[in-house]
């Protein structure tokens, strides 16, 4: 994993980073906005809206950049000396994160973006709910799989996400959007909910189930959640971590800054020995004032927003419709940070003359384009030249023909191998209630899924829960399915902007007899032939010009 910056209340515009070979270091760095620290008690959730668009004209091989996402870690600010990551874990090998390794101990990350490990490509970004529970030894991105590294399902005992919604599929390769979104917005929130009680034993486990809520035009509401046991497991063999995970601690949003990574590039020298470079064309939606909106309507939440009322309902109180109570929220102050990008470990110079980060109206973070002669507004520079102190963007007209960079093209993305699950263990015992079913998605893949009784889905089978505990949770989820539709707001609606839609093939109606208490679980995903990619999408470029 790439090295993460010290904890801060920030937004990330890339969620997952890898240690990259030189050929992929065409662009790396940060675009960030800082958020003011919330008052004590506002670590029970976070929501915001961010813009969705096709960053590139066609899918590219080994390309990884994210759009706006989150970075949440448990609040361990009371510990300043003791390592949270045990010796031998992946993150413990990153000494720069010491002495506590708090920033890489446990994370909720993910969001919209392009990942180098994605297997099925269609142009726009996808959405993925990534998290890591144990110092990056294990990574979880869906009810059955990890961060795109392997097509093989996670071991039964290492699963962590429970499918909650009975109306949307969660494929292992991420959730595609409908059409070719351009400047539409997606709202999502991570909220700590009490689906279960605090448990004693070894290890003890808190009651916080971090739940993903989505606000899109064709789906609204909770999608899935990380089981509290996902976070407490690490303390079984490392007692210091007991009570320090996301199952028990408030969440702190942060983790560094905007990060861009895994961008291919070409370099060539002219006859004088001056080095020039080329990266893929990156496109941004721009309004009439030269603005690109990235993030808006950020809110932190206390337990008064949803946790308290949900717990009351679960324990015999009045029914609750799931709507966030604004009285339990606060809006942080926002501060833009300067863009900081590198290529080949050399700083990019002069970007502020082309585009800068900016806060618009106090609660909107984005980019302000400067009508530069180097590149039109909304088009990030493609070409760069070595200069004293770094590498500077230049227009295509200044690239010497002898370098042949103008004619260089980047390798297209390739279809990957399928995601598979075993016909054994938690997947078949107790197993699904009905299936298989199939759906063909916009990313040129087909998923196979089954309908499982909620408590029978694979993630729960690693725990020795008694029948009463299972029945209690099953009954409560049935109430949620019956009372929480997908066509009304749960998180606060956006102050401006139009909502994006997910691929309609992801949106389901449960089969007759399985309307409540059952969830769709993907068991297999494979690619299908896509139509040939022709010239770069002129519709996207026209919107910029």
Q: What is the pLDDT of residues 190-220, one digit of tens each?
A: 999 999 999 998 899 999 999 999 999 999 9
CA separation for the pair 430, 514 (Å, rounded) = 17
Q: How far are the Cα atoms of 58, 63, 174, 417, 420 from residue 414, in angstroms, in the given order?
A: 12, 11, 16, 10, 18
Residue with tokens 């059409």: 179
pLDDT of res. 54? 95
Close Cβ partners of 538 (under 8 Å, ≥ 6 residues apart):
none
Residue 543 has pLDDT above 60, yes or no: no
Q: How far are the Cα atoms of 128, 170, 293 from residue 504, in angstroms, in the given order?
A: 17, 13, 25
pLDDT of res. 476? 98
**For 129-174, how does the pLDDT look when each residue is reduced to its tens digit (9 = 90+)?**
999 999 999 999 999 999 988 999 999 999 999 999 999 999 999 9
70 or 469: which carries more pLDDT confidence? 469
pLDDT of res. 21? 34
Residue 30 has pLDDT above 90, yes or no: no
Going by pLDDT thresholds of 50, 70 and 90, the confidence category of residue 521 is: very high
**For 529-540, how does the pLDDT look when each residue is reduced to its tens digit (9 = 90+)?**
877 655 444 444
The Cα angle at residue 211 between residues 120 and 51, in degrees rounded to 5: 55
pLDDT of res. 17? 32
Mean pLDDT of the chain: 91
**For 423-450, how does the pLDDT look when each residue is reduced to its tens digit (9 = 90+)?**
999 999 999 999 999 999 999 999 999 9
Beta bridge partners of 392: 385
CA 281 from chain centre, in angstroms, equals 23
Going by pLDDT thresholds of 50, 70 and 90, the confidence category of residue 23 is: low
In the chain, what are the domain boundaries? 46-260+419-527
Going by pLDDT thresholds of 50, 70 and 90, the confidence category of residue 16 is: very low
pLDDT of res. 37? 85
Going by pLDDT thresholds of 50, 70 and 90, the confidence category of residue 483 is: very high
Q: Which of 64-73, 92-101, 104-113, 362-371 has the highest mean pLDDT?
A: 92-101
Query: Is 38 in contact with 253 (CB distance < 8 Å)?
Result: no
Residue 326 has pLDDT above 70, yes or no: yes
pLDDT of res. 273? 97
3 or 97: which carries more pLDDT confidence? 97
Average pLDDT, integer, range 312-322: 97
Close Cβ partners of 244 (under 8 Å, ≥ 6 residues apart):
74, 76, 79, 84, 105, 235
Question: What DSSP letter does each residue of 253-276 carry, written as one string?
Answer: E-SSS--EE-B--EEEE-TT--EE
Give the DSSP H/E element, type plus range, for residue 184. Answer: strand 182-193
Question: What DSSP letter does each residue of 126-179 carry, written as one string?
Answer: EEE--EESSTTSS-B-SSS--SSS-SBPPPGGG--EEE--SSB---TT-EEBSS
CA separation for the pair 234, 240 (Å, rounded) = 10
pLDDT of res. 24? 74
Lowest-confidence pick of 76-80, 114-118, 226-230, 243-247: 114-118
CA separation for the pair 397, 281 (Å, rounded) = 16
pLDDT of res. 541? 42
Residue 8 has pLDDT above 90, yes or no: no
CA separation for the pair 119, 482 (Å, rounded) = 35
**For 266-294, how does the pLDDT look when each residue is reduced to its tens digit (9 = 90+)?**
999 999 999 999 999 999 999 999 999 99
494 or 66: which carries more pLDDT confidence? 494
pLDDT of res. 110? 80
Q: pTM here? A: 0.93
Query: Is 346 in contact with 391 (CB distance < 8 Å)?
Result: yes
CA separation for the pair 427, 135 (Å, rounded) = 26
Burial class from Cβ neighbours inside 10 Å (0-12, 13-18, 19+) for residue 49 reads buried
Query: Which is it for strands 434-440 and 445-453: parallel, antiparallel or unpaired?
Result: antiparallel
């Amino acid at each position: 994993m790439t090295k993460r910056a010290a904890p801060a209340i920030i937004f990330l515009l890339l969620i997952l980073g890898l240690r990259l070979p030189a050929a992929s270091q065409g662009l790396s760095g940060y675009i960030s906005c800082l958020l003011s620290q919330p008052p004590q008690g506002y670590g029970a959730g976070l929501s915001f809206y961010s813009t969705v668009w096709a960053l590139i004209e066609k899918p590219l091989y080994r390309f990884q950049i994210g759009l706006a996402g989150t970075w949440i870690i448990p609040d361990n600010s009371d510990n300043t000396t003791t390592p949270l990551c045990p010796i031998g874990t992946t993150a413990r090998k990153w000494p720069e994160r010491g002495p506590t390794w708090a920033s890489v101990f446990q994370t909720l990350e993910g969001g919209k973006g392009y990942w180098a490990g994605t297997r099925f490509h269609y142009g726009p970004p996808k959405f993925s709910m990534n998290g890591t529970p144990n110092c990056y030894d294990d990574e979880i991105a869906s009810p059955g799989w990890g961060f795109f590294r392997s097509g093989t399902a996670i071991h039964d005992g290492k699963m962590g996400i429970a499918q909650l919604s009975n109306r949307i599929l969660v494929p292992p390769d991420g959730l595609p959007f409908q059409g070719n979104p351009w400047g539409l917005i997606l709202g999502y929130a991570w909220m700590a909910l009490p689906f279960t009680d605090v448990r004693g034993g070894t290890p003890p486990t808190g009651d916080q189930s971090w739940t993903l809520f989505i606000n899109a035009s064709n789906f609204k509401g909770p999608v899935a959640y990380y089981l509290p046991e996902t976070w407490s497991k690490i303390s079984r063999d490392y007692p210091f971590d007991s009570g320090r995970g996301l199952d028990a601690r408030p969440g702190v949003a942060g983790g560094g800054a905007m990060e861009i990574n895994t961008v291919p590039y070409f370099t060539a020298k002219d006859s004088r020995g001056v080095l020039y470079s080329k990266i893929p064309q990156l496109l941004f939606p721009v309004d009439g004032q030269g603005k690109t909106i990235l993030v808006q309507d950020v809110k932190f939440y206390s337990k008064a927003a949803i946790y308290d009322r949900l717990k009351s309902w679960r324990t015999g109180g009045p029914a609750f419709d799931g709507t966030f109570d604004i009285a339990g929220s606060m809006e942080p102050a926002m501060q833009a940070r300067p863009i900081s990008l590198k290529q080949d470990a050399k700083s990019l110079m002069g970007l502020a003359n082309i585009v800068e980060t900016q806060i618009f109206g106090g609660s909107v973070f984005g980019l302000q384009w400067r009508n530069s002669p180097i590149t039109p507004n909304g088009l990030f520079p493609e070409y760069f030249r070595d200069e004293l102190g770094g590498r500077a963007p230049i227009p295509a007209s200044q690239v010497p023909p002898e370098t042949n960079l103008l004619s260089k093209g980047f390798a297209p993305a390739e279809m990957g191998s399928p995601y598979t699950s075993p016909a054994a263990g938690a997947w078949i015992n107790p197993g699904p209630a009905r299936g298989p079913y199939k759906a063909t998605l916009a990313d040129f893949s087909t998923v196979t899924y089954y309908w499982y009784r909620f408590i029978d889905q694979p993630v729960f089978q690693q725990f020795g829960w008694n029948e009463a505990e299972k029945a209690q949770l099953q009954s409560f989820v049935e109430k949620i399915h019956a009372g929480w539709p997908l066509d009304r707001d749960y998180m606060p609606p956006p102050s401006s902007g139009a909502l994006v839609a997910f691929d309609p093939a992801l949106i389901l109606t449960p089969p007759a007899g399985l309307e409540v208490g059952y969830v769709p679980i993907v068991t297999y995903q494979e690619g299908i032939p896509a139509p040939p990619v022709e010239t770069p999408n002129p519709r996207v470029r026209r919107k910029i010009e």
